[in-house]
């Protein structure tokens, strides 16, 4: 087998970069950006948030060791290593010396304890999510206004806060994700922007429990490896359920991790008596999904059962994406952007092979493209999933003139090994060990200089990437068979 000129088999990465194995001088490395927090499944099978580099502590006396450094509104006191509020007044606990900077991102943590009434909120450095029970605050927020750090107690809040911490996020938002969701070998995960509309994705005490359902938070170890999964006990009352009054207009997808204490149970996800999806869950953590229209989150069980839950998500998409944790406010993961591998020395205008082992996130009828081009639409070679169900679209342009415009059926949601060979009057497409198309009247592109996970600046590829290679020679039929064999 010939040696590829460029090879990206997901293994190495850093902030803003996905490394290619070849060439060794770095010309094949991809630039990467996202600009937000994101999760992946790591090699141990646990959900983890990509590591963030944080700045120094910005809060003074966040542990309330002394009665100092804070301005106390009505009803606030500091003693015993915590700040406590009692009484019916709406009042702030403020550290006016700490002011948010528009555009900067902060990680905010705090412990809310001994809540017996009312609401508390951390303003200025969070999105202002309302907290009504004991919880551990863990919020990442990009400031949209200039505000001091303020802790607001209202609606007769009685409770305490401790361990208040604010640190600037310095890096980690542009860290690529090598995901192990479906095998022991990683794939580069590339996803579109999405928002989890559920404000408490792990605190199920914030949900409404109806028809004798009992909720106990932080009961067992969750898929992220910590003790933050909740227990739901159903006593067999009809329509026993927990639900949340939040919805997404149009098509939306709910997802949640579930398992039983023992045996199997039937559980329904979704809202309403018609638009429900029923699952038989097991004693292993599994992420279950439901796609509908205008739904609100609901877990329903008509049987006597003990069920564990974790990681609730509601997205305005037709399929689920990676878990987006929330704690008091909606959270958005921005789109992954991965581009600009190679130079004009990498690619051969006369002949070559573009190979990829990829799967789409879903058969969602959108264009998702991987291309080699001259930086414009005039000369390019592209592999694409298009806006028709389960189709592979291959497109070659030379001198702004279309040379190959081919669509072939393919299961886009499974991994496919695809190789596109181009040479003057010698084009061939191979999929999973089989030659599916040829053309003997093809002009080759000129000025090829970059490999991108998009279609010359648009139609980004969203999916899983196990392997991308470029060969600067036209491989033989046997080599193409061997390369794409499943």
Q: In what order do the strands lie in the sheet with 214-221?
A: 214-221, 227-235, 304-315, 251-260, 286-293
The CATH T-level fold of domain 6-40+336-484 is: Jelly Rolls (2.60.120)
Distance from C-alpha of 136 to C-alpha of 141, rounded to nearest angstrom: 16
Name the residue among 238, 308, 290, 301 with its Cα closest to residue 266.
Answer: 301
Average pLDDT value over all residues in the chain? 93
Q: Are 461 and 370 in contact (CB under 8 A)?
A: yes
DSSP sequence for 362-417? ---S--EEEEEESSSSSSEEEEEE-SSTTEEEEEEEETTEEEEEEEEE--TTS-EE
pLDDT per position as a tens digit, 412-461: 999 999 999 999 999 999 999 999 999 999 999 999 999 999 998 899 99
Per-residue pLDDT tens digits for 202-239:
999 989 999 999 999 999 999 999 999 999 999 999 99
Q: What is the rounded CA–CA span in Å between residue 80 and residue 132?
A: 22
Which residues of the chain does CATH 2.60.120.200 include? 6-40+336-484
Mean pLDDT of 338-358: 97
Query: 103-107, 210-214, 310-314: lowest mean pLDDT where?
Result: 103-107
Would you give the distance in Å from CA 194 to the centre of its chain? 7
At residue 273, the pLDDT reads 47
Residue spans in the chain of domains classed CATH 2.60.120.260: 55-171, 194-332
Average pLDDT over residues 44-55: 93
pLDDT value at position 129? 67
Is the per-residue pLDDT at 128 higher than 70? no
* Least-confidence region, from 209-213, 326-330, 334-338, 389-393: 326-330
Q: Per-residue pLDDT for 272 more than 70? A: no
Structure tokens at 323: 């878990």
CB-count burial class (<10 Å; 0-12, 13-18, 19+) for 168:
middle
Q: State the average pLDDT over residues 134-160.
A: 89
**pLDDT greater than 70 at residue 131:** yes
- Give CA–CA dist 323/255, Å, rounded: 9
* Architecture of the CATH domain 55-171: Sandwich (2.60)
Tell me, what's the pLDDT at 99?
A: 95
pLDDT band with cut points at 50, 70 and 90 for residue 274? low
Q: How confident is the model at residue 127 (pLDDT cuts 50, 70, 90)?
A: low
Q: Is the pLDDT at 4 greater than 70, yes or no?
A: yes
Mean pLDDT of 90-109: 92
State both tokens at 344: 């004009």
Here the tokens at position 271 are 């809202």
Q: Topology of domain 194-332, per CATH?
A: Jelly Rolls (2.60.120)
Task: Return the pLDDT at 143.
Answer: 87
């Amino acid at each position: 087998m010939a040696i590829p000129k460029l090879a990206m088999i997901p293994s190495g990465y850093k902030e803003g970069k996905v490394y290619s194995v070849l060439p060794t001088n770095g010309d094949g490395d991809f630039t990467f950006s996202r600009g937000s927090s994101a999760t992946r499944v790591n090699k141990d099978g646990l959900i983890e948030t990509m590591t963030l580099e944080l700045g120094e502590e910005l809060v003074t006396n966040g542990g309330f060791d002394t009665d100092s450094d804070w301005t106390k509104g009505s009803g606030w006191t500091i003693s015993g290593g915590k700040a406590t509020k009692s009484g019916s007044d709406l009042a702030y606990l403020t550290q006016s010396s700490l002011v948010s900077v528009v555009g900067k991102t902060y990680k905010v943590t705090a412990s809310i304890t001994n809540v017996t009434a009312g609401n508390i909120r951390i303003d200025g450095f969070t999105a202002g999510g309302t907290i009504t029970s004991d919880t551990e605050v863990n919020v990442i927020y990009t400031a949209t206004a200039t505000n001091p750090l303020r802790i607001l107690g209202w609606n007769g809040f009685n409770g305490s806060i401790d361990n208040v911490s604010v640190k600037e996020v310095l890096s980690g938002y542009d860290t690529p994700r090598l995901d192990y969701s479906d095998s022991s070998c990683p794939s580069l995960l590339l996803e579109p922007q999405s928002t989890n509309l559920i404000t408490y994705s792990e605190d199920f005490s914030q949900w409404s429990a109806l028809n004798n359902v009992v909720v106990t938070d932080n009961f067992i170890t969750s898929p992220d490896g910590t003790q933050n999964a909740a227990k739901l006990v159903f006593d067999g009352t009809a329509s026993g359920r927990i639900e949340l009054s939040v919805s997404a207009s149009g098509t939306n997808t709910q997802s949640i991790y579930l398992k039983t204490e023992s045996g199997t149970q039937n559980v329904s996800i979704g809202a309403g008596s018609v638009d429900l999806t029923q699952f038989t869950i097991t004693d292993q953590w599994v992420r279950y999904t439901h796609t509908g229209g205008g739904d609100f989150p609901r877990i329903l069980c008509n049987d006597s059962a003990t069920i564990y839950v974790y990681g609730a998500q509601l997205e305005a998409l037709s399929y689920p994406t990676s878990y987006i944790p929330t704690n008091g406010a909606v959270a958005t993961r921005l789109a992954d952007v991965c581009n600009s591998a190679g130079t004009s020395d990498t690619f051969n205008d006369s002949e070559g092979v573009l190979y990829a082992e990829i799967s789409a996130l879903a058969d969602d009828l959108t264009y998702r493209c991987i291309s080699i081009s001259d930086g414009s639409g005039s000369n390019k070679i592209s592999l694409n999933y298009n806006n028709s169900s389960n189709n592979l679209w291959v497109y070659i342009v030379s001198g702004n003139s279309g040379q190959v415009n081919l669509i072939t059926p393919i299961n886009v949601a499974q991994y496919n090994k695809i190789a596109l060979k181009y040479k003057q009057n010698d084009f061939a497409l191979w999929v999973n060990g089989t030659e599916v198309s040829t053309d003997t009247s093809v002009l080759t592109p000129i000025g090829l200089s970059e490999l991108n996970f998009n279609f010359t600046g648009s139609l980004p590829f969203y999916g899983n990437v196990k392997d991308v290679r470029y060969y600067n020679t036209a491989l033989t039929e046997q080599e193409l068979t061997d390369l794409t064999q499943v």
